[in-house]
Amino acid sequence: MNLSEKNQNIGISVSICLFCYNDEEKKVLTVENKDQPFKGALILPNKALDPNKSLEEICSEILFENIGNSNIYVEQLNAFGKVYRHPNGRIIDISFYGLINLEKDKVILNEDNGAAFTSLESFPEFAFDHNDMIEMALKRIKRRMKYRPLGKNLLPDQFTMNELEGLYASFLTKKFDKRNFRRRILEMNFLREVKKVQRNTRGRKAILYEFDPKKYNNYSKTGF
């Protein structure tokens, strides 16, 4: 392939499925579509690729523009390239997904863009093929959880075992047995007990845990 072949008149956009876990629900960062077609529709934040920037740089820009924080780890999901996926012409979308915690990670939602974290419990409808992207991202996370720990990016620094269980239940869409869950997670040995003060809540106070960064990262890289 040489330079003359480069000018193919195909657009490339980058989009991000950024998930958080809040109020015991999983949510995704959405913006309001500003252009035709589907003006006003719910879409994933996205941006045209700049020839001089890497895919990851564009991700950072998307994040900065919509939540005022670009320091979020993302992974590539898929290139969506159907000929007729975008009514305005041929646009290939390279999508990424990432995870965030709304307390730990500073987030300032860009109101001009209609940026918001939208709950997925009620199956919102997105324009274009953005529903497919979200579905694929959730599948990918689900699969990934069988190999690697999840939670560091989604939970606050300290959390209870029940919060972690809720997170797992939500992303794996399955219920756990409290005792078995607790045992299995603790056996993996990437959690550290902190102290016994939990925020004011009814009932018995829960033990707080935090991730042991070294062990968590090891498992994160190499899998269980």
Contact residues: its own copies, CB under 8 A: 1-3, 5-13, 35-36, 46-55, 76, 78-79, 81-83, 86, 88-92, 94, 143, 147
Residue 95 C-beta: closest distance to DNA, Å: 32
Side-by-side strand order, sheet with 159-160: 159-160, 208-211, 191-193
Residue 11 interacts with which of its own copies, DNA, none, CB < 5 to 8 Å by class: its own copies
Please name the residue ranges forming H helices in 17-126: 55-67
Residue ranges binding DNA (CB under 7 A): 160-162, 177-180, 182-184, 196, 200-207
Amino acid letter for position 168: Y
Residue 177 interacts with which of its own copies, DNA, none, CB < 5 to 8 Å by class: DNA
Looking at beta carbons, which pairs linking 207-211 to residues 24 or more positions away fall under 8 Å? 207/160, 207/161, 208/158, 208/159, 208/160, 209/158, 209/159, 209/160, 209/161, 209/164, 210/157, 210/158, 210/159, 211/149, 211/151, 211/152
Residue 175 C-beta: closest distance to DNA, Å: 9
Residue 222 C-beta: closest distance to DNA, Å: 16
Give the CA distances from residue 137 to residues 75, 77, 113, 207, in Å, rounded to whole numbers and listed in that order. 10, 7, 23, 32
Number of residues assigned to the chain: 224
Which residues have CB under 8 Å from 49's CB, separation 6+? 12, 13, 14, 55, 58, 94
The answer to whether 153 touches 217, Cβ cutoff 8 Å, is no
Q: How far is C-alpha 130 from the geometric centre of its chain's CA atoms?
A: 14
Instruction: Please identify, using beta-carbon distances, which residue of 11 and 166 lies nearer to its own copies.
Output: 11
Instruction: Please identify, using beta-carbon distances, which residue of 54 and 189 lies nearer to DNA.
Output: 189
Residue 185 C-beta: closest distance to DNA, Å: 11
Residue 157 C-beta: closest distance to its own copies, Å: 30
Instruction: Please identify, using beta-carbon distances, which residue of 79 and 197 lies nearer to its own copies.
Output: 79
Residue 92 interacts with which of its own copies, DNA, none, CB < 5 to 8 Å by class: its own copies
Residue 39 interacts with which of DNA, its own copies, none, CB < 5 to 8 Å by class: none
Taking the C-alpha atoms of residue 204 and residue 224, their distance in angstroms, rounded to an integer, is: 33
Residue 46 interacts with which of its own copies, DNA, none, CB < 5 to 8 Å by class: its own copies
Residue 218 C-beta: closest distance to its own copies, Å: 18
Residue 161 interacts with which of its own copies, DNA, none, CB < 5 to 8 Å by class: DNA
